[in-house]
Structure 1
């Protein structure tokens, strides 16, 4: 006797209606998730993974979205044909979802406690104190540090990884039967990622919960999935058990994905190159204002770090979420106040005011971690990429257009899409737009804050090769902030390991990887395998 699957996607097609034309983005896919099973849905950015997941709870606007064929059944009940009352019952109760971009999903005007309390109030009718106790317990389970202090924090006061953990806590508060996780560990370092994966496994067993896990990280698939479905250009090209798929992939695209793990090493840097960036005793703190019964406190997040990057060299900055990696990058651009010395090409940037910093803005560029928040939704892609040229250089409109087209081609974007807006692109495509915006100014130093975290492995490999090629051609210098140690090893000459605002280990990349000295570095490398 066959048990009914908890989720049954039958011959589903999804299309977008635009200017009277139908653009089909998912084409007749069929997928089943059994009770207690983890199904991994993998594929490149734009393949239709996230659109399929959003359609399960009918979260896409109709119109313009239509469903030309098929159905989605939850415990035998059609969700595509369900009325609003039925959908509201399932959303958050029976089925929960962890979204890819926590900064967009969390309300910036409400504290963490308020947002989590709403879930328990709406779905379980809990009293305030009982809700608070349960919120603290769940946030501790997802390894959020200093939970009771963070309850009154707003999303922008948390790191990317911390925001993602809040999203996971919000999704599991109602103990759903089906959890849809859309890239839930993208912003997490490997140690916390391992903890979250273990947590999801524990929750699955406790609640007999099913998991539809959308990811581009094949290491996660190896650790978590029971079965795997592979999507390419809106079609389901292969389904198999995890072990069979990794040992004997059938489809050419699956084989390509498995061969796209970051590999190779950076081109050798010239040893006699001058120091381009020197950081001496950098300290960054965020003051907490005094209250009626509370003294003013300076919360130090980066504590007296020092390092040097030579011209044409790549330095990898790794560490757990909240360790101070991204804060360091922002301070180097003088976007945050800091103490200590910042020397760029022999010039003391730490002594300059904002006006005096303007000539250096084009020479030092940054690619931010969250491409959705970093791109202006009201500007077209062409306007976004060309914006720096208008500020720092004098080109005719025709020259700017030509440079935009050339840069988009360099990062693997179709130039014919340059008049579209950020919301019309996938997460990975938005990240490539961010890279193009930085590269078009031909900077000397590029600060890359998790630039490949939202990219699938095949596109990630292309971006890494592009960065290597650009570095060799133009003697670019990179400060590469990442939690992906495979990416760091592939691109970087030097590595710094940070923890709780301090450097615990630094040195040549190969030396640290082959013989890590600090226990924290050893744990990071162990968790990444």
Structure 2
């Protein structure tokens, strides 16, 4: 039997704080052969990322300790290696794609500088030769107009583009083992398909091994040779991909496979009067150039979007990154300038200024994609959720505000006793519930949900979808649901608009569009589910 490329042998990982030691990974054993893809799946907090970071010794020691076990790369221990050995392995032989690109990319350097640094350090390339390599890799990862984008800074890219740059940086080193920690979480299905195809091609071309951490079981089925399932720090099941999906043995694995979005939208009252009417909504951004930053042209990013939304109804907006989904939401909230008609409960919001909008702000709320960045880390949960009440109902007493917070936390499935904790003390799913509670406490009639489940595990995603349906049924909430996950859209939405580069490609009743799409682009999106 040939020696595995990577062998994690009976490894335990613990966090030591003062006199207490808490084990977070318990006696886990994994092997990856050359050219093999192993998927590591499980819920948040199961120990997936901690295990992956331990391979390259990226966790601080202390407080992290390794009570037992070892990590062997080509038979050499990484846990007991010196820093010089580790520097020779990191990046050169083992590369890693992290989940959050904004944490990993330097905000002060251009893409060209950061990409060249990788090629200079790990492959000793000169700048002239490196440029062609950089452009080729960016193009293969789906960055449009790569030559023009090299001068951009990370904040000038969309979330999906930043993730693609991170993938390009890791692949430039041509590693023997690539560790990918949720690399496609923020990407829409077309780009996701491109990235998976790219990883497959490079795996075959370089005979590269891949440790792929994800909560998307659809990706696992398409990419992985074998699957390891983790729960509460333990590996509860390992098998080939086909065997695990065909006949899962462990109850937790069975629950994961059963948690794919399903069901129908909340039944809609047919006689309901429209809450929101939108006609020919368009958005153009000014392009400024020169020393004085004069406007020289305008870039059209959204064109002629029209729809009607009733109380208790959900409209899904789907499409690739840059298609205009989030722009539509911001325009409806009057947070960016737009043209066209926006009638909310008969009121012409399109003609109102900021002061006129204030009285209706509480009736239109938003839940953002990433609760980590939308929740203030310096405020506790009580302060975060009650913030809207302070602004829109300043006359409420402290006691009444606290009672309202307790009520809404129970409503979204959070323990009110945790209201004095800070966001860092909560899991990703709990933080998203906090964000929903913050929007819900003002008792809005319309909530814009911008990718609210994209970064969540499937089991947590199913919980959030069930919560949104329950809240919609109870309060007759209207939702505008922005997503690239078509299974989620089908389970929640009554009607759907498919956007591409700011244009409406297809629009109609959700079940009809999914069953019989009329446009080639819609069929392409559905084929990539």
Same topology, TM > 0.5: yes
State the superposition RMSD in angstroms.
2.1
For the pair 1:485 / 2:486, whether they are aligned, the reply is yes
Of the structure 1 ranges 235-244 and 125-134, higher mean CA displacement relative to structure 2 is found in 125-134
Structure 1 partner of 2:431: 430
Of the structure 1 ranges 16-25 and 225-234, higher mean CA displacement relative to structure 2 is found in 16-25
Displacement of 1:134 after TM fit? 1.2
- For residues 68-467 of structure 1, the aligned pairs below 5 Å read 68-291=67-290, 296-393=296-393, 394-467=395-468
Distance in structure 1 (CA, Å) of the matches to 2:226 and 2:210:
11
Q: Secondary structure at the match of 1:170?
A: helix
Of the structure 1 ranges 372-381 and 408-417, higher mean CA displacement relative to structure 2 is found in 408-417
Distance in structure 2 (CA, Å) of the matches to 1:410 and 1:35:
50
Displacement of 1:152 after TM fit? 2.0
TM-score, normalising length: structure 1: 0.94
Distance 1:451 1:12, change over 3 A: same
Q: What are structure 1's unaligned runs of at least 5 residues?
A: none
Structure 2 partner of 1:514: 515
Displacement of 1:27 after TM fit? 1.7
Conserved? CA contact 2:325–2:482, under 8 Å: yes
Displacement of 1:142 after TM fit? 0.8
Conserved? CA contact 2:286–2:295, under 8 Å: no
Displacement of 1:326 after TM fit? 1.3
Partner deviation per Cα, 1:491-517 (whole Å, 9 max, x = no partner) = 000000000111010000011011100
Partner deviation per Cα, 1:384-412 (whole Å, 9 max, x = no partner) = 23322332234444444444444444444
Of the structure 1 ranges 242-251 and 151-160, higher mean CA displacement relative to structure 2 is found in 151-160
Displacement of 1:425 after TM fit? 4.0
Conserved? CA contact 1:45–1:429, under 8 Å: no
Of the structure 1 ranges 406-415 and 96-105, higher mean CA displacement relative to structure 2 is found in 406-415
Distance 1:434 1:68, change over 3 A: farther
Distance in structure 2 (CA, Å) of the matches to 1:179 and 1:3:
20
Q: Secondary structure at the match of 1:442?
A: coil
Displacement of 1:55 after TM fit? 1.9
Distance in structure 1 (CA, Å) of the matches to 2:390 and 2:15:
34
- How many residues align? The count is 527
Displacement of 1:287 after TM fit? 2.1
Distance in structure 2 (CA, Å) of the matches to 1:214 and 1:421:
27
Distance 1:357 1:242, change over 3 A: same
Partner deviation per Cα, 1:100-128 (whole Å, 9 max, x = no partner) = 12233322332222222222222223222
Moved over 6 A (4+): 292-295
Distance 1:271 1:56, change over 3 A: same
Q: Secondary structure at the match of 1:355?
A: helix
Q: Secondary structure at the match of 1:63?
A: coil
Structure 1 partner of 2:28: 29
TM-score, normalising length: structure 2: 0.94
Q: What are structure 2's unaligned runs of at least 5 residues?
A: none
Displacement of 1:153 after TM fit? 2.2
Partner deviation per Cα, 1:123-157 (whole Å, 9 max, x = no partner) = 22322232222111001101111222222222232
